Amino acid sequence: MNKKKIIASIKNIRISFKDNLTGKNNVVIRDTGFDLYRGEILGLIGESGSGKSVISSLLNGLLPRGGEILSGKISILGHDVTNWKEKDWLKSKLRGRKIGRVFQNPMSALTPTIKIKYQLIEALLDFKIFKKEEECIEEVIRILDNMDIENPKELLNMYPHELSGGMIQRVVLTMIISLKPEAIILDEPTTALDPIVQSEILTLIKKLNKQYNISFIFITHDIGVISEIADRVAIMYAGRIIEYGDSHEVLFDPRHPYTWGLLCSLPSASIGKNDLVGIKGILNQELLKDDQDAFVFRNPYAMQIDTEKRPPFFKIKENHYAATWLLHPNAPKVKKPEFIRSINKLY
Ligand SMILES: Nc1ncnc2c1ncn2[C@@H]1O[C@H](COP(=O)(O)OP(=O)(O)O)[C@@H](O)[C@H]1O
Ligand SMILES: [Mg+2]
């Protein structure tokens, strides 16, 4: 098997935020991480507040103010960036150039009063990719063409507010891709788009991934979207990745009861039934003790041991792991939800 190159790696990271009112430190990322391989699309899934944005912000050195890395290690393209200060990030070519990022509201990446043309050129000139404006424009038009934009020259003369959500996404992707990045983090890139535009953007991302061999981290709370796009997936709950592996493995043979819950909340799971199954309750960080399985309060399959000890990762296959005591050899055999059994049959 040929060994895949690791672009970035987050290991055993623990992060807290200080609560300004109470002065208490809330741990929001709990001793977790992932590797990002060259050329892959990694889907990072979890409900709102599970830590997807915070953990991925580490790859750009953009941990929100008040956040503190308590332990763990972050490396990017061979650099240990764990203790980097803002000045180290500014000096390096990693942020923005080698590791790009598209935010949930991509409009925020653009300046409203400046034509698209100048915004795209500026990035290229800033990073000294080209010296002349004409060269920049040629390059930008080449990339826009490749994104199936009919009239790139016309687009270049427009202002951000004249563009649709899907077009804004394409402009922001063009800006990032023109810098020849190794990886792009897409933080809920399609959440605000209507379904047709969303599916166009997913197709576009797959195409860019293949053409340029750029790695993508695709963050979403929608497990349905991920099945269309990701090579590998990591499922996050309460600041920890709890199941990960090849998409096909995780989505057709899921082993963690939280992953079961996510899949059972898909609209297709409710066909022929009266209501959605899904996961009951809400994530309550306050109640959680560090040595417990965070899912214990909402897990219909919870056992005594979940209240006492955090489960380690159990290996299911070479490319599939899950952290649930249900995989312990001595655990009782449980009956999976009906929808999950029907998915298993498609495996
Ligand atoms: N700037 C911040 N200050 C304090 N807490 C924060 C801040 N940013 C995120 N958090 C907390 O960290 C946790 C994870 O947040 P986030 O990564 O944004 O979740 P997600 O992207 O999965 O919705 C949440 O509990 C959130 O309240
Ligand atoms: Mg987020």
Lowest mean pLDDT among 38-42, 88-92, 128-132: 128-132
pLDDT single digits (tens) 20-44: 888 888 999 999 999 999 999 999 9
User: Please, is 73 exposed, middle or buried when counting C-beta atoms within 10 Å of its C-beta (0-12, 13-18, 19+)?
Assistant: middle
Using the predicted structure, report yes or no on whether residue 193 has a pLDDT greater than 60: yes
Residue bearing the CA closest to ligand 1, atom 2? 64
pLDDT single digits (tens) 306-320: 888 999 999 999 999
In a mutational test of the pocket of ligand 1, which residue from 13, 14, 17, 262 has the highest number of ligand atoms less than 8 Å from its CB? 17
Ligand 1 within 6 A of CB of 53: yes
Lowest mean pLDDT among 146-160, 243-257, 290-304: 290-304
Atom of ligand 1 nearest to the CA of 57: 17
State the pLDDT confidence band at 287, using cuts at 50, 70 and 90. Answer: low
Query: Under a CB-based contact definition with an 8 Å cutoff, are residues 169 and 193 in contact?
Result: yes
Task: Record the pTM.
Answer: 0.93
Ligand 1 within 6 A of CB of 50: yes
The continuous run of DSSP H or E covering 270 comes out as none
Using the predicted structure, report yes or no on whether residue 241 has a pLDDT greater than 90: yes
Q: Which fold has domain 1-98+181-347?
A: Rossmann fold (3.40.50)
Ligand 1 centre and the CA of 236: distance in Å? 13
Q: What pLDDT is recorded for position 273?
A: 53
Pick the closest to residue 103 from 161, 136, 64, 69 (CA basis).
64
Pick the closest to residue 159 from 110, 226, 125 (CA basis).
110
Ligand 2 centre and the CA of 53: distance in Å? 4
Ligand 1 within 6 A of CB of 57: no
Cα separation, 58 vs 63, whole angstroms: 6
> For the CA atoms of the chain, what is the radius of gyration?
21
Span 298-313, average pLDDT: 89
Ligand 1 centre and the CA of 340: distance in Å? 30
Pick the ligand that lies closest to the CA of residue 54: 1
The arrangement of strands across the sheet holding 183-187 comes to 99-102, 183-187, 215-220, 41-45, 232-237, 240-246, 320-322, 314-317
Q: What pLDDT is recorded for position 284?
A: 67
Residue bearing the CA closest to ligand 1, atom 7? 64
In eight-state DSSP terms, residue 266 is S
> Percent of the chain, pLDDT > 70?
94
The structure tokens listed for 109 are 């990446």
Ligand 1 within 6 A of CB of 68: no
Ligand 2 centre and the CA of 112: distance in Å? 24
Q: What pLDDT is recorded for position 232?
A: 97
Boundaries of CATH 3.40.50.300 in the chain?
1-98+181-347
Higher local confidence (pLDDT), 144 or 268: 144
Q: What pLDDT is recorded for position 1?
A: 46
Q: What pLDDT is recorded for position 276?
A: 43
SS3 41: strand
Q: What pLDDT is recorded for position 108?
A: 85
Pick the ligand that lies closest to the CA of residue 294: 1
Ligand 1 centre and the CA of 2: distance in Å? 37
Using the predicted structure, report yes or no on whether residue 161 has a pLDDT greater than 50: yes
Cα separation, 222 vs 56, whole angstroms: 17
Ligand 2 centre and the CA of 62: distance in Å? 13
Q: What pLDDT is recorded for position 244?
A: 98
Pairing of strands 6-18, 25-37: antiparallel
Mean of the per-residue pLDDT values for the chain? 91
Q: What pLDDT is recorded for position 275?
A: 44
Ligand 1 within 6 A of CB of 198: no
Query: Under a CB-based contact definition with an 8 Å cutoff, are residues 245 and 321 in contact?
Result: yes
Residue bearing the CA closest to ligand 1, atom 4? 17
CA angle 277, 283, 286 (to 5 degrees): 155
Find the Cα–Cα–Cα–Cα dihedral 229, 231, 232, 236, rounded to 10°.
Answer: -10
Ligand 1 within 6 A of CB of 32: no
Q: What pLDDT is recorded for position 326?
A: 95
Higher local confidence (pLDDT), 207 or 4: 207
Ligand 1 within 6 A of CB of 52: yes
Span 70-95, average pLDDT: 96
